[in-house]
């Protein structure tokens, strides 16, 4: 069967399956199998469905994922997030705009420590939104701030997106972590600027004072000084251990995940949160998330084999031939395609299903693979707060009761602003990614 026709049929099938609500790993697996049968016949299946799926996920590098997820669960169930935000509230008392800024910064730090955007967004939604509302922020803006803060885990290490990209392209995960540091800070700064713009716009339309607190906000929580000091020390210690250890070469990203998980457990012990329920919830969530990622990887491997046999990357390169002399234009086109995909499909799946297509194009353009990985992670971060599948927004909406549509209206402003500025800067100045890794090598 003609390969163009097969590719067209498979794309239609993917859209139909997604609209039917099928899980993304099942969509990738089914479309990959159907495509391979149409291209090569049934004879290709025994070899493809034998040991290859196991070999794909039986990777030492992938052990980083459950370790960082376990660390995230230990930290979240220890109550450290609430303690850190209490400190933020105390520092910014009486300064409404500063509270929003610190919420985004803390969101980035928590994302860096936990590696889980959904968990961080949900935690900020529970703890930050009441305080933001109390200080004059509208419900949609408070929700957008919490969702944007949580989404930063997509770019600020240890990002699972960066880990998956490193495994898929055989790029050192440690270098990806270090290279993502400056772009991660840039995305955070863009979110802060957008937040200040919306906040000042609201203040002009409806002036508020600190005394105009929302009536149903709970009384300010009281946390002992011991817990405050413990939260500060442990939070800084975990960040220093992970980044310092990887940057200095003291241990690998996988070992950093193990150290972080141990530190998270010790945090819970010190704060007196360890019990049977603590372990049950932490381990259950870790298994669920890890299994989801591995199933997506297996489905993406089958789909990637179909993409390779269909020669789709080569055909795309031929189509792009007229503009291949202008790498910036090709990268802008790729970024738009990825941005749209991240709006509809879960981040890990987009990474794994597009790498076989875009990597040959990037190689032909002689673009640094490390730079491209960080570039994709920036777009993924932005995709976490864009409709219709903005996971961070839905997490915040679920815990806060604020309409997801109302949050999306403001979060889209955050996303578009960060997309234009940060992606533009990365295309113009690739050294923003390559400079730090070059110092550590």
Together in a domain, 270 and 142:
yes
Per the CB < 8 A criterion, the answer to whether 149 and 131 are in contact is: no
Together in a domain, 156 and 69:
yes
Residues spanned by the domain of 7: 1-50
DSSP labels, 326-354? -HHHHHHHHHHHHHHHHHHS-HHHHHHHH
CA angle 98, 233, 261 (to 5 degrees): 110
Burial 1-12 (b: 16+ CB within 10 A, else e): eeeeebbeebee
Determine, yes or no, domain membership for 218. Answer: yes
Together in a domain, 72 and 44:
no
Per the CB < 8 A criterion, the answer to whether 274 and 265 are in contact is: yes
Together in a domain, 19 and 68:
no
Q: Alpha-carbon distance 1 to 183, whole Å?
A: 45
Determine, yes or no, domain membership for 172. Answer: yes
Domain count, the chain: 2
Determine, yes or no, domain membership for 305. Answer: no
Q: Alpha-carbon distance 62 to 104, whole Å?
A: 29
Determine, yes or no, domain membership for 302. Answer: no
Answer with the one of 33, 50, 67 that is the final residue of a domain. Answer: 50
Together in a domain, 158 and 194:
yes
Together in a domain, 35 and 134:
no
Together in a domain, 96 and 26:
no
Residues in the chain: 441
Together in a domain, 209 and 265:
yes
What are the residues whose beta carbons fall under 8 Å from the beta carbon of 8, sequence distance 6 or more?
Answer: none
Q: Alpha-carbon distance 366 to 364, whole Å?
A: 5
Q: What is the pLDDT along the chain (441 residues), one digit of tens a residue?
A: 677 788 889 889 988 887 887 877 888 888 888 988 888 888 777 767 777 777 777 777 778 778 877 887 887 788 776 677 667 667 666 567 788 888 888 777 766 655 556 667 777 777 778 778 877 889 999 999 988 988 887 788 777 788 888 888 888 888 898 899 899 999 999 999 999 999 998 888 765 544 444 334 344 556 677 777 777 777 778 778 777 787 777 887 778 888 888 888 888 888 888 899 999 988 998 888 788 778 877 887 788 788 778 877 677 777 777 888 888 888 888 888 888 777 766 677 778 778 888 888 888 888 899 999 999 889 888 887 887 667 788 878 887 888 888 999 999 999 999 989 998 899 889 999 988 888 766
pLDDT at 392: 82
Together in a domain, 2 and 125:
no
Together in a domain, 75 and 204:
yes
Which DSSP letter does residue 217 get?
A: P
Answer with the one of 26, 50, 74 that is the final residue of a domain. Answer: 50
Q: Which of 433, 418, 325, 328 is nearest to 375 (CA)?
A: 433
Q: Which of 305, 256, 253 is nearest to 56 (CA)?
A: 305
Determine, yes or no, domain membership for 303. Answer: no
Rounded to the nearest 10 degrees, the angle between the axes of helix 181-205 and helix 404-428 is 130
DSSP labels, 16-63? HHHHTT--HHHHHHHHHHHHHHHHH-GGGHHHHTSSHHHHHH--TGGG
Together in a domain, 141 and 202:
yes
Q: Alpha-carbon distance 367 to 430, whole Å?
A: 10
Does 158 sit behind a cis peptide bond, omega within 30 degrees of 0 on the bond before it?
yes
Together in a domain, 117 and 43:
no
Taking phi over 0 as left and psi of -120 to 50 as alpha, with beta for the rest, 326 belongs to beta
Number of H helices, E strands in the chain: 23, 0
Per the CB < 8 A criterion, the answer to whether 407 and 132 are in contact is: no
Determine, yes or no, domain membership for 9. Answer: yes
Q: Alpha-carbon distance 351 to 349, whole Å?
A: 5
Determine, yes or no, domain membership for 306. Answer: no
Q: Which of 423, 355, 335, 434 is nearest to 165 (CA)?
A: 355
Determine, yes or no, domain membership for 304. Answer: no
Q: Alpha-carbon distance 207 to 440, whole Å?
A: 50
């Amino acid at each position: 069967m003609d390969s163009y026709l097969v590719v067209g049929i498979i794309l239609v099938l993917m859209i139909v399956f997604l609209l039917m609500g099928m899980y993304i790993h099942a969509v990738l697996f089914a479309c990959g199998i159907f495509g391979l049968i149409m291209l090569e016949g049934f004879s290709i299946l025994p070899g493809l469905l034998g040991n290859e799926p196991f070999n794909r996920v039986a990777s030492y590098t992938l052990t980083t994922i459950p370790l960082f997820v376990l660390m995230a669960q230990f930290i979240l169930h220890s109550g450290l997030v609430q303690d850190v935000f209490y400190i933020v509230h105390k520092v910014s008392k009486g300064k409404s705009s500063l509270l929003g800024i610190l919420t985004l910064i803390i969101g980035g730090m928590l994302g860096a420590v936990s590696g889980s955007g959904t968990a961080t967004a949900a935690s900020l939604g529970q703890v930050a939104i009441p305080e933001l509302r109390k200080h004059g922020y509208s419900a949609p803006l408070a929700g957008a701030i919490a969702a944007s803060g949580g989404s930063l885990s997509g770019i600020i290490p240890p990002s699972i997106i960066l880990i998956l990209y490193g495994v898929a392209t055989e790029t050192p995960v440690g270098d990806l972590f270090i290279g993502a540091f400056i772009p991660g800070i840039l995305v955070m700064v863009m979110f802060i600027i957008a937040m200040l713009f919306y906040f000042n716009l609201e203040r002009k339309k409806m002036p508020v004072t600190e005394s105009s607190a929302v009536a149903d906000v709970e009384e300010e929580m009281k946390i002992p000084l011991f817990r405050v000091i413990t939260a500060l020390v442990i939070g800084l210690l975990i960040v220093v251990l992970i980044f310092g250890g990887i940057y200095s070469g003291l241990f690998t990203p996988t070992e950093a995940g193990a150290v972080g998980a141990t530190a998270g457990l010790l945090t819970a012990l010190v704060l007196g949160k360890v019990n049977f329920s603590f372990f049950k919830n932490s381990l259950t969530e870790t298994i669920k998330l890890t299994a989801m990622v591995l199933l997506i990887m297996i489905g993406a491997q089958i789909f990637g084999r179909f993409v390779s046999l269909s020669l789709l990357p080569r055909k795309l390169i031929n189509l792009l031939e007229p503009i291949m002399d202008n790498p910036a234009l090709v990268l802008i086109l790729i970024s738009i395609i990825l941005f749209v995909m991240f709006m509809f499909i879960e981040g890990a799946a987009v990474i794994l299903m597009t790498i076989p297509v875009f990597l040959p194009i990037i190689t032909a353009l002689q673009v640094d693979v490390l730079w491209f990985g960080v570039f994709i992670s920036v777009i993924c971060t932005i995709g976490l707060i864009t409709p219709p599948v903005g996971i961070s927004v839905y997490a915040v909406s679920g815990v806060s009761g604020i309409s997801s549509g109302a949050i999306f209206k403001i979060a889209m402003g955050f996303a578009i602003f960060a997309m234009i500025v940060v992606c533009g800067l990365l295309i113009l100045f690739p050294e923003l990614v390559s400079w730090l890794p070059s110092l550590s090598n």
